[in-house]
Every structure is written in structure tokens, then in C-alpha cells.
Structure 1
Amino acid sequence: MKSFTARLIALFSLLTLEVLVVSGVFMVSGLLFFYLTRIVFVENSMAFDQWAFGKMDVLRAAWPSLTTVVESITFFASLPFLVVVGLGLPLVLRLKGHRREGLEILLAVAGASILNQLMKTHFQRMRPETALFPQSGLSFPSGHSMIGLALYGCIAWVLWRHEHHPAWAALLLMWAVLIGLTRVYLHVHYATDVLAGFAIALVWLILLRTALRLWWREAKVIQ
């Protein structure tokens, strides 16, 4: 009986910690996004963006060959890649019997893509004029950062939840952050675009995950 009680208390503490952490990330991400919109569109400050560009320019001048590597990395959140993976991976998971996981990833990518376009249309921020190569579309928030984190963050969550691979989950999140940094390196996005993309991606993932858990729990009760 004591062993059962101890396990129950440990489980309750873990669940409470998870709720607290997720709620904290949600609030911080939302506040960060709001703060960035104030900095960019109300105060019209470019101080942080210019500082970030300066750091990347120093890096590029020190290692010119790094640009080729950066261009390769940034591809892994490009539109062609996201379309193939965003549709192909859920299909593979469904065929292997992981229907819910496939649906999570599909909705994460599709929802982030739609939300990103709506936000870009609303904010109407033009891209940097110093871009290393022509890039169409608007700038805020960064699509590579937002949709990339939605994809890799969702995969990381699935791995963490089912296979308990914290190392792989951490590497996927670091990879998403690295992709965002490539956008600043290439001057195709401001640093504030990238941070805003990360922030709103986390907000979207938490909302999506919460909604799906409630939906599946309700469906299970009805059945």
C-alpha cells in the first residue's frame, strides 16, 4: 500500500511539473512574441537586428566557405522539403499503425504554415535589402523558423513521449534553432523575425497538443 501511494505521489508530481513547464513555456513564448511586435512595429527599433547581422557578417568574413554549408542547412526547412516531409512522414506513420502521431505532425506543419502566412500578411514587413540571394515573400515572422520548429519540435515530442529518446529530441530542437540562425546569416530574415517564428511555433504546438489530447480523451469517453 505504501509503495502504491509513493508511486501515485511521484506520478502526480511529475504530471504537475509537466503542466507547470508547458504552461510556463506557453506564457513566455506568447509574451516574447508580443514584445517583438512592439519592438519592431511600434518602436521601429533595428538595434538588435543590426547587432545580429554584424555578428553573422564577422563569422562569414572569418570563414567564407561556411556559406555553402549554411545554404545546405537552410534547405531543411524550405518549402519543397516541408511539403515532402509534412505529407510523407504522416503517411508513413499511418501505414505503420501510428495514426495519431502522423496526424499530430501533419497538423503541426499545416497549421504553422497557414498561421505563418496569415501573420506575414497582417504585419507586412519587408525582407532585408542586404540578403545574400533573392528571396520572395514577406519577413515577419520567419517561415523557416516557425514551420521548421513546428515540424522538428513535434517529432521531438513524439520521440520523447513514445521512445524516451531525450538526446534525439534535444538534437532535433537544436537543429531547428540552427536552421533559424541560417536565415540571419544569409540576411534573408531579421533576427527578430526568427525569434518571433520560434515563439509563435511553440505557442501553436502547445495549443495543438492540448486540443488533440482533449479531443482524444473525449472520444475515448464517448466510445
Structure 2
Amino acid sequence: MIKKITARVTAALSLLTLELVIVGSVFLGAAVLFFYLTRVVFVANSVRFDNWAFGQLDAVRTAWPGLTPVVRSLTFFASLPWLVAAGLGIPLLLGWWKHRHEAWEVFWAVAGSSLLNQLLKTYFHRLRPQSALFQQAGLSFPSGHAMIGLALYGCLAWIVWRHRHHPAWAIALLLFAFLIGLTRVYLHVHYATDVLAGFAGALLWLILLRVMFRLSVRGDGVRR
């Protein structure tokens, strides 16, 4: 009996340690990436990567001109109207299904990343590309579509994987978020460095949010 308990505790600790290593590595990598991008954009004033990314997607648009309406449709799923609807509607739906903890996770994933994104945009104050295919208000760095979109879909991916164990759906949600970020460069409403910074910011926020929720749950004496 004691051996079984010891084995289970050892297994649980090994999984916890692995989770800490993975999450810590992702957090550190995202922080390093964000810092590196700020150096590239605001210190070195380099546009080499941004121009390369524009060139690659311009070639795609030239080869398949009918793709642009599809791209504009996709980018809507991280637009302000959609994020407001999803950031309120999904938590209400989860609350209706008695998943109150997950409801708050989704709400704060969207609300917190939105606030952080605006603070970062105001601080860095980078103007949008002048070559945009359509006019878009606001500042450029980091991309709100990329940051808040990944925060929303990344949070949903975690919830789906945690409760339903459907990794394919979780991966699909993450790929959808990355695809939305790509549409911003395709449409020239953001530089590629804006999008990468948005992704990095979203990862940082999601990990911090997850840690805060884990601490609050432990404080309540509830195991999740």
C-alpha cells in the first residue's frame, strides 16, 4: 500500500515538474521574443523582416487574387465586434453550463489581453503601414488581432484539451489564431513584427492568467 502511494506521489511530482519546465520555457521564450522584437523595431529600426514578409504574402495575393475576400472574412474573427461578443457570450454560455471557473478564464483572457494590448500600443506608439489594403484605426505594435485572438482561442484550446481531451480541436483553435495573425500581414494592416509581438504578448498573458487562477483555486481549497 505504501509503495503504491509513494509511486503515485512520485508520478504526480514528475508530471508537475515537467509542466513547470514546459510552461516556464514557453514563458521565457515569449518574453525573450518580445524583448528582441522591441530591439529590432525601435532600436535597430530594421524593416528587413517586415519587408520580406510583405513580399512573400504579396506574391500569394498576386497568384490568387480571389483569396483576399476570404482573408478579410477570416480577420473578422479577431475584430473588436467579434471579441466583445465572444468575450461576453462565451463566458455566459460556460456559466450556463455550470463551468464558472472556465467562464472567468475566458473573460479575463480577452479583457486582460485587450487592456495589456492597449497599454503596449500606447507605450510603443508605432504607426500602421502606409501600404494597408484598407484603412484601419489605431496603432500597430503589438497587433491586437494577433494578441487578443491568440488569448481567446488559446484559452479555449486549453479548456477543450483539459476537459474533453481532444488535442485535434485544441490544435485547430491555435492554428486558427495564428492564421488570423497572418491575415493582418497579408492585408498590410500590420507589420510581421507586430503580429509576432502580439503572439508573444498573448502567451505571456495566458501563462500569467493561468498561474493566478491556479493560486486562487488552491486558496479556495479546490483542486482542478
Smaller-chain TM-score range? Answer: over 0.9
Shift of 1:4: 4.1
Aligned to 2:210: 209
State the alpha-carbon separation in 1 of the partners of residues 14 and 221 from structure 2: 25
Q: Which amino acid aligns with 2:207?
A: I
State the TM-score, normalizing by the size of structure 1: 0.96
Shift of 1:58: 0.5
Aligned to 1:118: 119
Segments of structure 1 that go 5 or more residues without pairing to the other structure are none
Q: How does 1:55-204 map to 2 (within 5 A)?
A: 55-204=56-205
State the TM-score, normalizing by the size of structure 2: 0.96
- Aligned identity (percent) is 66
State the alpha-carbon separation in 2 of the partners of residues 63 and 5 from structure 1: 60
Classify the secondary structure of the residue corresponding to 2:81. helix
Q: Does 1:53 align with 2:54?
A: yes
Shift of 1:159: 1.1
Classify the secondary structure of the residue corresponding to 1:220. coil
Aligned to 2:16: 15
**How far does the alpha carbon of each residue in 1:20-76 deviate from its partner, in whole angstroms, 9 at most, with x for none?**
100000000001000000000000000000000000000000100011111111010
Shift of 1:112: 0.4
Q: How does 1:37-48 map to 2 (within 5 A)?
A: 37-48=38-49
Shift of 1:3: 4.3
State the alpha-carbon separation in 1 of the partners of residues 167 and 5 from structure 2: 27
Instruction: Give the 4+ runs in structure 1 shifted more than 4 A.
Output: none
Q: Which amino acid aligns with 2:200?
A: A
Q: Which amino acid aligns with 2:28?
A: M
State the alpha-carbon separation in 2 of the partners of residues 130 and 7 from structure 1: 59
CA RMSD of aligned residues (A): 1.1
State the alpha-carbon separation in 2 of the partners of residues 93 and 147 from structure 1: 19
- For these two proteins, the number of residue pairs brought into alignment is 221
State the alpha-carbon separation in 2 of the partners of residues 131 and 79 from structure 1: 18
